[in-house]
Chain A
Amino acid sequence: MVSTVNMTVQIGSLKMRNPVTTGSGTFGFGSETKDLVPLDRLGAVTVKATTRERRLGNPPQRIVETASGILNAIGLQNGGIDDYLANKAPYLRCFDCPIIVNVPGENPDDFAYVVERLTAAGAADAVELNISCPNVSHGLDYATDPQLAASVVAAVRKVTSMPVIAKLSPNVTDIRVIAKACEDAGADALSMINTVVGTAIDPRKRKFRLANITGGLSGPAVKPIALLAVWRCYNTVKIPIIGMGGIACPLDAIEFMLAGATAVACGTGNFVDPTLSLEVIDGIEKYCVENGFADVNALIGAVTAA
């Protein structure tokens, strides 16, 4: 089949050949699954969080399985920006695939420092500000307060011309307030949702199942929460949204686009099937063909009342 569907989407100045990327922390740094996923087929690759300093992460148990999902408390284990620039970016740059680097931080300076290094080295094509990781101290705070969220976006905005994507938390009363604050502070796009904070208990041992006690819930269990967040923000901000949360098949991704997402990320689904992104790309295209859409962008926000 020769495709006549335009699959190209735009996240700020970042052009993606199709709307599919990977959820940060669910696809490593791209090389782990090289036997299974040719990176140049993805719309973009979003790599694992990269911090200012190396982080050892949380002690195990780090992941437990819950109904239709998992709880994780990895704790941002990574080698730090020096390791990323020396050992990860060169591999990623071998492919014709935009790189989105997820950047957490404990204060606006941390975020700005890492983004500045990435910008100077040309080692990313966009940055995703992880203002919402529930597994590290201070991580969540930034995404639960509009002023704090804006302060991080503004600090990063000053040091880069790359697209700045703010990753939002669902663990708030009204996500639209945070979305608007990030847009006003200069964010080029939003990604949502990060994980839903929760816990699990082993009743036989009478112990928490995660060493960290709390973890972030992801997988199909959170999809309804994520879809509503995307739809609400789509109706609140003008900047594009990368939708994620429980995508396990192409039609899940279609739902996110109909709710208002310009692009989507496969996350926990990669753990079940590392080739999920490829299946989703093909499935979106097939859906467009079968439903008479010549441009995938026509799906964005196209949901109507029941």
Chain B
Amino acid sequence: MIKKEAAQVVSVTPLSAPRHFVLTMTSAHLASHSRPGHFIAVAADTGSAILRKPFSVYTVNPDVGEISILFSVYGPTTTAMSRMLPGDSIDVLGPLGGRIFDPEPIKGIHHILVGGGYGVPPLNYLAKTIRASAPDAMVTVIIGARTANLLVGDDGLLDAGVEVIYCTDDGSAGVQGRVTDALLPLLKSDSRVYTCGPTPMMKAVGELSEAHGVDCQVSLETFMPCGVGICVGCVVKMRDGVFSRTCTDGPVYPGCEVAW
């Protein structure tokens, strides 16, 4: 159920990546209803920029009724968010998303999660969710970035028993190369791939998975003016020629449905 509420900011923590922050807020509603792949839409009083901005749910703590989102400062809304203080009110709408990640933690499946940039946070939540529901599940998260200090969103993955592979374009951390270089040797008939990040990356991951006959769920990132399906502005083209609303028909699609 979608709710609009004034959540309370618990903390806004800067990350080592420049201009990146994790914002934690109190919301019993979001903490109990958010699943991996869901997002929330934040409105900040920013003067001339009127629209809400969408953020994937990063961490969820239902016990204390808190969720967090990870963002980088890009425009007026994220600037305002980066300056929020504990106790401040934050106007949020959520949880949003029609089709979200479907982890199907079947025994024997190797779950491979491939993320880049702000695409990593929802995969972090997904990885932990899979491990929690199937403690013996094999979960690997491949995280890519241009350079070491832009690797974000890996908080708590190792503790959750998840294998993490880092890839950087310049080799400053982990494997030098692209996420697809790390993905290729892992693709087997028992693999299931989930990806979120920049569109060119997801296209490459989706196509590589498809070429190996492996199911791939892609969480598309678009400019979402409303987040609830009424503006029809966030569409992407599907292979059947239809324009699909990523906010409510997605954001997660089988990679083989998207007309990249």
A residues contacting B by CB (< 8 A) are 25-28, 32-33, 35-36, 48, 56-57, 59-65, 67-70, 72, 74, 77, 219-220, 248, 268, 270-275
Contacts and interface: CB of A to CB of B under 8 A. Distances in A.
Going nearest first, the 5 A-B pairs with the smallest beta carbon separation are A63-B233, A271-B226, A28-B230, A32-B229, A35-B2
A65 B49 contact: yes
B237 interface: yes
Contacts of A27: 230
Contacts of A67: 48
12 contacts: A33-B228, A35-B1, A36-B3, A57-B235, A62-B232, A63-B234, A64-B223, A70-B50, A271-B52, A273-B93, A274-B4, A275-B4
Residue of A48, A63, A69, A70 with most chain B CB atoms under a 10 A cut-off = A63
The secondary structure that dominates the B interface is loop
B165 interface: no
Contacts, number: 93
A248 B43 CA distance: 14
Contacts of A61: 223
A274 B231 CA distance: 11
Interface string B243-259: 10000100000000000
B51 interface: yes
Given A273-B43, A275-B4, A63 B231 contact: yes
Given A26-B230, A72-B231, A72-B233, A63 B50 contact: no
B164 interface: no
Residue picked from A28, A65, A248, A271, most chain B C-beta under 10 Å: A271
A28 B225 CA distance: 14
B237 A59 contact: yes
A72 B233 CA distance: 8
B143 to A, nearest CB: 28
B144 to A, nearest CB: 24
Interface string B1-29: 11110000000000000000000000000
Contacts of B234: 60, 62-63
Interface residues of B, number: 29
B50 A56 contact: no
A59 B243 contact: yes
A206 to B, nearest CB: 19
A26 B231 contact: yes
Nearest to A271: B226
Contacts of B185: none
Contacts of A68: 48, 50
Given A35-B3, A56-B243, A272 B228 contact: no
A106 B18 CA distance: 52
A62 B233 contact: yes
A284 to B, nearest CB: 20
Contacts of A270: 226, 230
B106 interface: no
Given A28-B230, A270-B230, A274-B230, A63 B243 contact: no
A124 B93 CA distance: 31
B242 interface: yes
B51 A60 contact: no
Residue in B3, B232, B241, B242 with the greatest tally of chain A CB atoms within 10 Å: B232
Contacts of B226: 270-271, 274
Given A35-B2, A65-B50, A28 B229 contact: yes
B222 interface: yes
A70 B226 CA distance: 11
A199 to B, nearest CB: 16
Contacts of A48: 232
A219 B228 CA distance: 18
B150 interface: no
Contact of B225 (A32, A271, A273, A275): A271
Interface string B47-89: 0111110000000000000000000000000000000000000
B2 A65 contact: no
Contacts of B48: 67-68
Given A60-B237, A248-B50, A273-B4, 8 more contacts: A32-B248, A33-B2, A35-B3, A48-B232, A60-B233, A270-B230, A272-B50, A274-B93
B156 to A, nearest CB: 31
